Amino acid sequence: MKSTTLFFIVLMLVLLLASCRDSTFPVEEKPTPVVAGAPSYQGLQETFKRYNYQLDQIDDGIPPLFVEKMPDDLGHIAETETRKRLFFKIMLPLVLLVNEEILAEREQLLAIQQQLDHSDSLSPEQRATLDNLAARYRVDLKTEGLATAIDILLRRANIIPVELALAQAANESAWGTSRFSLVANNLFGQWTFIPGQGVVPEGRPEGEIYEVRRFSNLYESVRAYANNLNTHQAYQSFRYLREDQNIATKPDGLALAEGLLSYSIRGEEYIREIQALIRHNNLQRLGGASLRKTE
């Protein structure tokens, strides 16, 4: 109960951040988060049905139903397409929430950049915001200088295409049925090198200290995955590819998958596998989805 309450509070804070705009903008309605927990996939299906949550009906928005952990019996669903649809339903609101948070940060950066262009100075509040974002996105303000640092930050603070995140989550977590997705809420195969902070993989070579990172809930796993793509040196090409795309349109997950060469030791084979998952499951249709603002 305590974990669910904490998760709900975190979601409220994140959604509040995602709704923050400069005072000259109209105030937007915020989605009301609902922590959707069920001991079995049947219970989760009933919750989704109660909110009329259908992947083929996204024009009115995706209900903000945030699942804390994968049902332990997800792998018991005999029908493959039913299991896959439920997995995507679980994942989609989480990815959209993380992207909303990133877009809110991006708007803050754009406002700061505009302020610097006009007056060459920042308010204490703006400087504090910039310091926080620089720390989050691993940019050294002193080394880079403010103008260059903001350019780097804007390259990093950008959304992950929905179709790409869904495909990678499916691939890395065996559609939410892997050991690490169930015991560690780890959907993307992320590691930690801090002993005791994760789960030791079976067959880990002697002398190695890496563990599969443990997350308190699925949202934290998605958030860490996005931050990884947006900050790690290995995915610099991913970020440049995204920057080169027309900013007036949503990023193309099929094209951006080409920047994931270092995500897996399988290299090009992994990229083709992710692209095939996007195509086969027609995930690009979900790229325009957004969280429902009212219930």
What is the pLDDT at residue 245? Answer: 87
All structural domains of the chain: 2-286 (1.10.530.10)
CA–CA gap between residue 85 and residue 48 (Å, rounded): 11
Q: Given a cut of 70, is residue 5 above it in pLDDT?
A: no
Angstrom distance (rounded) from CA 73 to CA 295: 29
pLDDT at 102: 96
∠ CA 279-283-288, rounded to 5°: 135
Condensed to tens digits (0 to 9), the pLDDT of residues 48-101 reads 999 999 999 898 899 999 999 999 999 999 999 999 999 999 999 999 999 999
Burial zone of 34 (CB within 10 Å; 0-12 exposed, 13-18 middle, 19+ buried): middle
Backbone phi, then psi, for 198, in 5-degree steps?
Answer: -145, -155
Average pLDDT over residues 10-38: 50
Question: Do 186 and 221 form a contact (C-beta atoms < 8 A)?
Answer: yes
Contact 152, 144 (CB under 8 A): yes
- How, if at all, do strands 191-192 and 211-213 pair? antiparallel
pLDDT at 187 over 60: yes
Q: Retrieve residue 115's tokens.
A: 């302020």
